[in-house]
A and B are shown apart, each in its own frame.
Chain A
């Protein structure tokens, strides 16, 4: 744990070394901003074919999204999608994790889940956010699981189910992504790390292979506490 904290402190040093102070739009090409096409990411992703996506998201040691009350935000989360199973699932997904900002305050992570779907005739996007604060410096447990194999995706926070989406979704998720998303005009000071897994029910498995991707302006590294595929750390402020 101490080693992890040291490494995160070093990652913060990297961020500080490469970044100027907070300014309107940020990133080396001013590429990171609030509008949807300019969100910035540090993520792990992979194609797969499983029933459950598991992520342990850790926002640490603190979070500061100065524009949070104005709607800017930073997340630590997982997304599942189904696009390879048909064009009607394009631009449809389910996500689950924790968010700082988004019209609330600067610094409190709130657990959330959301879906966007375009295949029921009436397209729509839903999000649910918990008013309570999710713990900092802890691997908070988030699961998306079609336990009954009926296209209804159950959402878990910690031990327990908090909601479900569907049915009508495919039974198998075929794309897993997890990491950090930032939508802000002013560079937030946010660091985090994650561990990810998958399951078909019962035993959980590490990912078998992962592609890592980041936007200019975001930092990305292995999670040194567990370097299985998809387990990463992130921060804002790299070139």
Chain B
């Protein structure tokens, strides 16, 4: 009997048995490999995430996406028939602010630190600079869509034998550019979306009518709060390639966004209007060339940083 066929039968036998198997004492080699890799910065690129840029959805378009998800869930086999008209409230913030609100906290409690806990080569914890994708996710634009008015019971991941969530409140957080649903909540506590920006209430009928007419999808517009920041970093007269640039809201002690300069020393961001402190970080870790700049809605701000 060939080796392949032997493996086939072993696998089949195990699959058919589905019972308690004997154990062996292998060391978790993956753990040591991965933590060593993590310590060397693998987590910097854990996924393919890049903060999307471009025009933002309108609140009505965000509500349309949320209603589409809701109706999808209610059409699924085994789902209870929908009863009652949902009320929908939409508000805007960063993903970190939206997440805080969904957890019953004020937007000011949003995670915005410039460092995070990380796991070292021997499993020990330390403080590391926040990975690019985590920083960009937190600061990305988001809509919270909070819905009430009927009972919600989506089919979602649960441990074996457990009940799925049910509740009278359903909330979704969508990326404000792509509409990707990044956070969800089912429960009994209505998030305080009024604590975010531009809270707007819609009836389900209004949203459904807009979706049917295509009005929502046509109503995508530029976010009036976004502008561009372009910059260059120089080491003396030479372009500083691969340097990290920290962009922090002025007056805040918490971290903002991080960019890495391109080969020509340039970097760019599409960010909310406001005053920002911009500083470069040398490869050795020290900061240099701090500048303060203002980004205005739809405007372009330029900043040049020169370090010795």
Report whether chain A binds chain B: yes
The answer to whether residues A161 and B34 also contact, given A35-B77, A128-B182, A220-B15 and a CB cut-off of 8 A, is: no
Expressed in whole angstroms, the minimum distance between the Cβ of B83 and any Cβ of chain A is 18
**Contact across chains for B188 and A124 when beta carbons are under 8 A apart:** yes
Q: Is the CB of A70 within 8 A of B76?
A: yes
B76 touches A71 (CB 8 A): yes
Which residues in B have their C-beta under 8 angstroms from that of A56? 30-31, 34
- Report the minimal beta-carbon distance from A3 to chain B, rounded to whole angstroms: 9
Please report the total number of B residues contacting A with Cβ < 8 Å.
Answer: 88
User: Measured between alpha carbons, how far is A181 from B32 in the docked complex, in Å?
Assistant: 27
C-alpha spacing A137/B129, complex, angstroms: 27
Q: How far is the CA of A117 from the CA of B158 in the complex (A)?
A: 12
Q: Is the CB of A130 within 8 A of B49?
A: yes
Q: Which residues of A contact B48 (CB under 8 A)?
A: 132-133
Q: In the complex, are the beta carbons of A213 and B160 less than 8 A apart?
A: yes
Cα A226 to Cα B111 in complex, Å, equals: 37
Q: Is B81 an interface residue (CB 8 A)?
A: no
If A10-B11, A139-B34 touch, whether A131 touches B24 (CB-CB below 8 Å) is no
CB of A128 to closest CB in B, whole Å? 5
Interchain CB contact under 8 A, A124 and B72: no
Tell whether, in the assembled complex, residue A116 and residue B160 are in contact, meaning their CB atoms are under 8 Å apart: no
List of B residues within 8 angstroms of A139 by Cβ: 30, 34
Report the bound CA distance from A233 to B271 in whole Å: 44
User: Across the interface, which residues of B come within 8 angstroms of A132, CB to CB?
Assistant: 46-50, 133
Tell me if B72 and A160 are in contact (CB < 8 A): no
Q: Is B238 an interface residue (CB 8 A)?
A: no
Q: Chain B contacts of A43 at CB under 8 A?
A: 160
Across the interface, A125 reaches (CB within 8 A) one of B26, B73, B131, B156, namely B156
Contact with A along B11-22 (1 / 0, CB 8 A): 110111011110
Asked if B47 contacts A221 (CB within 8 A), the reply is no
Interface residues of A in 199-232 (CB under 8 A from B): 199, 201-214, 219-222, 226-229, 231
Interface residues of chain A, those whose CB is within 8 Å of chain B, are: 6-7, 10-11, 13-14, 33-36, 38-39, 41, 43, 45, 54, 56, 70-71, 73, 75, 77, 79, 81, 91, 93, 95, 99, 102-104, 110-112, 114, 116, 122-135, 139-141, 143, 147, 154, 156-163, 177, 181, 183, 185, 195-197, 199, 201-214, 219-222, 226-229, 231, 238-239
Besides A56-B30, A125-B156, A139-B30, 18 other CB < 8 A contacts?
A35-B77, A36-B158, A56-B31, A71-B72, A112-B157, A122-B187, A123-B165, A130-B137, A130-B182, A147-B117, A159-B38, A159-B41, A160-B38, A204-B123, A206-B26, A214-B15, A220-B18, A239-B16
